[in-house]
Chains A and B, each alone.
Chain A
Amino acid sequence: MLNAAAKLSAKIFADDIEKVPTRDGFGKGSVEVGGKDSRVVVLCADLTESTRAEWFQKEFPERFVEVGIAEQNMAGVAAGMAVAGKIPFITSYAAFNPGRNYEHIRTTIALNHVPVKICGMHAGVSVGPDGATHQMLEDIGLMRMLPGMTVLVPGDAEEARKAVIAATSLDGPVYIRFGRAATPVFTTSETPFQIGKSLVLWESDAPRAAILSTGSMAHTALMAARALSAEGIESIVLHVPTVKPLDEEMILTVAKRASRIITIEEHQAAGGFGSAVAELLSQRYPVPMRLLGVADMFGQSGTPDELLSHYGLDAVHIKEAVQALVAV
């Protein structure tokens, strides 16, 4: 059953649930923090419309910096601005930020330990028709390996808004991952969000498995859990928007209760969120696991739904994985 304490959308299982891209959450959140904190600046590399950086640009033109198509320079300029007292958000597609400019982020932001907020838009295969070059599937891995980097993967646009606000007041570098496609807004303004905390979406008294998701896969996991419940397989869905630092306590609790763990993410199955969970559980409380994600492949052109289904990132595949795992 749904966890009432999560105060989720009343339309959570309705066909007409509101769908908004998580990048809109960046646009909203950045305008909100921009109004409250004059240290906030937003940098963009010639993608103001699609990253939603233009929402901030319109409100605070004097604190918006257009760097041109130069993501490496954007990282360095932001590091310098942070050294000089600002809180910069750097925005582009995840393939280029943190893909293209990874070593600049490593040296000038992470090792330098300055509060630059790295915003990677258009992550995952749900970018759609643009194809493999623009469908970043390795960013969570890249960023979570950097010492001192906080990694946030919001589940919907509302949570993305909260993540931007929370990241602003965190004194250190943060990576926030956003998607292009409109996805269900399953949380509400009442839903709790705190960096480092996970959220139980679906509960049961006698769970046989727990589905741990990050990003917009949360809603997909929820659909799978409901379908499984109808077949008599009870589960827990734990949404984990902070990939680093992981909510270790809650993940261990869930592992102890459910004894079977499935992770799901719109990322390579290797090196990302599932790996982070496996690193924790293999050392602290080993349980049988399945890591769902893209299986060592690049993406391709298609509609978001076609691609998510093709790469095994839909409710059908989650359901099958749970059925197979509880049979072990």
Chain B
Amino acid sequence: MNLSDLEITKLEAQAEAVRETIITMLVAAGSGHTAGPLGMADIFTAFYFHILKHDPKNPELGDRDRLILSNGHICPVRYATMAHAGYFSVQECLTLRKFGSRLQGHPERERLPGLETTSGPLGEGLSQAAGIAYVFKMDNKKQRVFCVMGDGEQEEGSVWEAMMFAGKYKLHNLTAIIDRNNIQIDGMTEDIMPLEPIADKYRAFNWHVIEVNGNDIRAFIAAVDEAKAVYEKPTVIIAHTIPGKGVSEIEFDYHWHGKPPTKEEGERFLKEIRTMSGKVPHEYA
């Protein structure tokens, strides 16, 4: 389905609002991950505001699509996008990582309706997504399963077990998304443990591979549409994203993988997002 320029512009503006919330919640939390969530704001916006069949007022909707977040540490982007989509108030985002909050530092299914799994320890989401997709295929259910993973996460051996499994059982209803932002805690992925040629590796495991600019909402939605048309294989979308996208001081800097902005930094970053990097003359918020 072709989206109009206006629809895309609306989604882009929504993604900027999600980024603002991410910065605000991380400053309030005082700990957490910044670069990954900012880089994935466009994709999560595309999911919750266009791609997914879901109902924020009925998170247990029986025939909903399932979005599994495997690299649970980027949960601020999921929480922020869910809040903007209407699952809970944006205000609640300020409870991130606080005692008694439903918004745990790593997501817990039993605490917050709308999360499909508990995640954080890497290399476990694809197995669970494959299990769900296997059941949907077995029971002739039409909904789709999406699994967001990090690129550093591909270093976990269990990811490759799950890749083999999904390839063997031709889980065409499963689409994996790799956040290819090239950073992990200790540095650049290719220095820590080279992943390339990641596309060839997935192809060798009987997956359909699409590479896309993960900060281009139109391109990402088109990639998901392509994945839906593949009937004999699971699909992986290698989404090349800019870590810290939207905040020039954070972009491409692995040091921002696992720390939050200070209050002062947060104000500076919000200003940058709100003025579109100085392109518009004043803040509107």
Interface residues of A (CB under 8 A from B): 62, 65, 67-68, 70, 72-73, 75-86, 88, 103-104, 107-108, 111-113
Which of B120, B124, B136, B168 has most A Cβ within 10 Å?
B124
- Residue-by-residue, is B153-193 near A (CB-CB < 8 Å gives 1, otherwise 0)? 00001100110110010000000000000000000000000
| Assembly CA distance A112 to B126 (angstroms) | 15
Check A83 against B131 for contact (C-beta < 8 Å): yes
Known: A68-B168, A79-B131, A80-B132. 13 other contacts (CB 8 A): A65-B134, A68-B165, A72-B124, A73-B161, A73-B162, A73-B164, A73-B165, A80-B117, A80-B129, A82-B131, A83-B132, A84-B136, A104-B127
Interface membership of B110, Cβ < 8 A: yes
| Assembly CA distance A70 to B164 (angstroms) | 10
Interface membership of B135, Cβ < 8 A: yes
A selection of 28 A-B contacts at a CB cut-off of 8 Å is A65-B134, A67-B165, A68-B164, A68-B165, A68-B168, A70-B158, A72-B157, A73-B161, A76-B130, A77-B127, A77-B162, A78-B131, A80-B68, A80-B117, A81-B135, A83-B109, A83-B117, A84-B136, A104-B124, A104-B127, A107-B118, A107-B119, A107-B120, A107-B124, A108-B124, A108-B128, A112-B118, A113-B110
Nearest CB of chain A from residue B27's CB, rounded to whole Å: 28
| Partner pick for B124 among A70, A76, A83, A85, CB 8 A cutoff | A76
Check A70 against B161 for contact (C-beta < 8 Å): yes
Nearest CB of chain B from residue A212's CB, rounded to whole Å: 34
| Partner pick for A81 among B116, B131, B158, CB 8 A cutoff | B131
Interface membership of B229, Cβ < 8 A: no
Interface membership of B138, Cβ < 8 A: yes
- A interface, by DSSP: helix, strand, loop or mixed? helix
Nearest CB of chain A from residue B229's CB, rounded to whole Å: 24
Known contacts: A73-B158, A104-B124, A111-B108. The answer to whether A80 contacts B118 by CB under 8 A is no
Closest chain B residue to A112, Cβ basis: B118
- Residue-by-residue, is B68-111 near A (CB-CB < 8 Å gives 1, otherwise 0)? 10000000000000000000000000000000000000001110
Nearest CB of chain B from residue A305's CB, rounded to whole Å: 37
Q: Which residues of B contact A86 (CB under 8 A)?
A: 135
3 smallest A-B Cβ distances: which pairs?
A80-B131, A76-B127, A73-B161
Check B117 against A79 for contact (C-beta < 8 Å): yes
Q: Which residues of B contact A75 (CB under 8 A)?
A: 127
- Residue-by-residue, is B121-157 near A (CB-CB < 8 Å gives 1, otherwise 0)? 1011111111111111010000000000000000001
Check B109 against A112 for contact (C-beta < 8 Å): yes
Check B161 against A62 for contact (C-beta < 8 Å): no
Q: Which residues of B contact A68 (CB under 8 A)?
A: 161, 164-165, 168
| Assembly CA distance A72 to B116 (angstroms) | 19
Check B164 against A76 for contact (C-beta < 8 Å): no
Check B132 against A104 for contact (C-beta < 8 Å): no
Nearest CB of chain A from residue B11's CB, rounded to whole Å: 29
| Assembly CA distance A107 to B124 (angstroms) | 9
Q: Which residues of B contact A84 (CB under 8 A)?
A: 131-132, 135-136
Nearest CB of chain B from residue A244's CB, rounded to whole Å: 20
Q: Which residues of A contact B123 (CB under 8 A)?
A: 72
Check B158 against A76 for contact (C-beta < 8 Å): yes
| Assembly CA distance A83 to B123 (angstroms) | 18
Q: Which residues of A contact B134 (CB under 8 A)?
A: 65, 77, 80-81
Q: Which residues of A contact B135 (CB under 8 A)?
A: 80-81, 84-86
| Assembly CA distance A82 to B135 (angstroms) | 9
Nearest CB of chain B from residue A48's CB, rounded to whole Å: 16
| Assembly CA distance A108 to B165 (angstroms) | 17
Check A80 against B121 for contact (C-beta < 8 Å): no
| Assembly CA distance A72 to B156 (angstroms) | 11
| Assembly CA distance A28 to B35 (angstroms) | 52
| Assembly CA distance A112 to B158 (angstroms) | 18
Q: Which residues of A contact B132 (CB under 8 A)?
A: 80-81, 83-84
Nearest CB of chain B from residue A83's CB, rounded to whole Å: 6
Closest chain A residue to B135, Cβ basis: A84
| Assembly CA distance A81 to B164 (angstroms) | 17
Check A62 against B127 for contact (C-beta < 8 Å): no
| Assembly CA distance A111 to B72 (angstroms) | 14
